[in-house]
A = this chain, B = another copy of it.
Amino acid sequence: MSENLAGQDLLVRVGEVVGDALLGAERVFIEELSSSHAYVTDVLDHAARFRGKRLRPTLLLLSAAATGGIKKDHEVLAAVLEMIHTATLVHDDVLDEAETRRHVATVNGRWNNETSVLFGDYLFTHAFHLASSLESTLACRLIGRATNIVCEGELTQIHERGNLDLAEQTYFQIIDGKTAELCASSCHLGAHFAGADEAVTQSLESYGRSLGVAFQIADDMLDIAGSEQETGKSLGSDFRKQKLTLPLIHLLRTSNAQTASRVRELFSEPNAASWAELAQLLEDSNSMEYARRRAEEYTARARAELESLEDSTAKQLLEEITEFVADRSF
């Protein structure tokens, strides 16, 4: 079975366990965001077209299924997490001046930056409003704290833009904030609201964090060596926006003085020719391989966290997801 077909098969089996709840979360998502303003509805309908893998809702619901079972609150929480994630995507597209996402024009591409900024805000505030419909303030607190960390991660990323001496450690701090934190929270909330004990909840949170780190490393690699057709994004966007990611950090650290100096030259003049030369240097070095190895290290950590869980179909699926995260082409 090819990798893609195996991925399809996994999606079908995930759907068997969490499909109904995912649909429920989708209904909550749409209902919470519905507006009497035709213009807001237009933007919402458009943005729905580039929503993607539903990774965070899936992690949340599988974590619930693997512990005490999925409840109504989980559908609400899954919708909240997806809303926050969508808000960060919409604002990221402003930051990146991106024209397309998943083959569809971004909100700023289709309307303008102002609409994107306000629509992202609209998603954020509705997410918190929806979280406050639950009985206790716990979800609001956890989600608020996680989102604070996401913003700090993104602010640090902007601050370090163009810094060719970015330490690998800082790169990991950035992706831990901007990506892994929300995956960790998804698993934590899934388990906690299923009634899991503190130790199991912590294990699932750590699982989500390691998975998120691996996911982001893979995402950064796809920006270098992916297929525009499969990813639905234009490649080299990190390079254009002067963001250093793991392969480039490794290349700068390990190459000889001449190559390192050439890399610095290329990086300081982002255009199609310098990007082609840099992408080739990255391919020819073992920097992509290094990044892949680091991602696999994190997926192995994620799997190890699952060991303490009782056997279940959901646990099995959480394990299998780790294999696709680091080695994906979409």
The reply on A132 being an interface residue by CB < 8 A is: yes
For residue A72, which residues in chain B have a CB less than 8 angstroms away from its CB? none
B122 & A124 in contact (Cβ 8 Å cutoff): no
Give the distance to chain B from A16, nearest Cβ to Cβ, in Å: 34
Bound complex: CA of A124 vs CA of B128, how far in Å? 10
With contacts A40-B155, A137-B135, A155-B39 taken as known, whether A147 is within 8 angstroms of B118 at the C-beta atoms is no
Counting every copy of the chain, the complex holds 2
Give the distance to chain B from A233, nearest Cβ to Cβ, in Å: 18
Q: Mark A289-300, 1 if CB is under 8 A from B, else 0.
A: 000000000000
Give the nearest-CB partner of A123 in chain B: B151
With contacts A148-B122, A152-B122 taken as known, whether A114 is within 8 angstroms of B131 at the C-beta atoms is no
Give the nearest-CB partner of A42 in chain B: B159
Q: Which residues of A contact B (CB under 8 A)?
A: 35, 37, 39-40, 43, 87-88, 91, 94-95, 112-115, 117-122, 124-126, 128-137, 140-141, 143-145, 147-148, 150-152, 154-156, 158-159
With contacts A40-B155, A115-B155, A140-B131 taken as known, whether A121 is within 8 angstroms of B124 at the C-beta atoms is yes
Which residue in B115, B133, B135, B152 is a CB contact (below 8 Å) of A158? B115
For residue A87, which residues in chain B have a CB less than 8 angstroms away from its CB? 121
Bound complex: CA of A37 vs CA of B121, how far in Å? 23
A141 & B133 in contact (Cβ 8 Å cutoff): yes
Bound complex: CA of A328 vs CA of B217, how far in Å? 55
Bound complex: CA of A154 vs CA of B118, how far in Å? 7
Bound complex: CA of A81 vs CA of B112, how far in Å? 28
A151 & B122 in contact (Cβ 8 Å cutoff): yes
Q: 26 A-B residue contacts at CB 8 Å?
A: A37-B155, A39-B156, A43-B155, A91-B121, A94-B114, A95-B114, A95-B118, A114-B158, A115-B158, A117-B117, A118-B151, A118-B155, A118-B158, A121-B124, A122-B152, A125-B148, A125-B150, A126-B148, A128-B143, A129-B147, A131-B140, A132-B132, A132-B140, A132-B141, A133-B137, A137-B137
Bound complex: CA of A35 vs CA of B43, how far in Å? 34
Give the distance to chain B from A106, nearest Cβ to Cβ, in Å: 14
Give the nearest-CB partner of A35 in chain B: B152
- If A128-B128, A140-B140 are given as contacts, then 9 extra A-B residue pairs at C-beta distance below 8 Å, sorted by A number, are A95-B113, A121-B121, A122-B151, A122-B152, A124-B124, A129-B144, A132-B140, A135-B137, A136-B137
Give the nearest-CB partner of A137 in chain B: B132
For residue A141, which residues in chain B have a CB less than 8 angstroms away from its CB? 129, 132-133
A91 & B117 in contact (Cβ 8 Å cutoff): yes
Bound complex: CA of A81 vs CA of B45, how far in Å? 31
Bound complex: CA of A125 vs CA of B147, how far in Å? 6
Bound complex: CA of A114 vs CA of B113, how far in Å? 11
For residue A119, which residues in chain B have a CB less than 8 angstroms away from its CB? 155
Bound complex: CA of A179 vs CA of B95, how far in Å? 27
Bound complex: CA of A119 vs CA of B130, how far in Å? 23
For residue A129, which residues in chain B have a CB less than 8 angstroms away from its CB? 140-141, 144-145, 147-148
Give the distance to chain B from A43, nearest Cβ to Cβ, in Å: 8
Which residue in B39, B125, B143 is a CB contact (below 8 Å) of A151? B125
Bound complex: CA of A197 vs CA of B114, how far in Å? 40
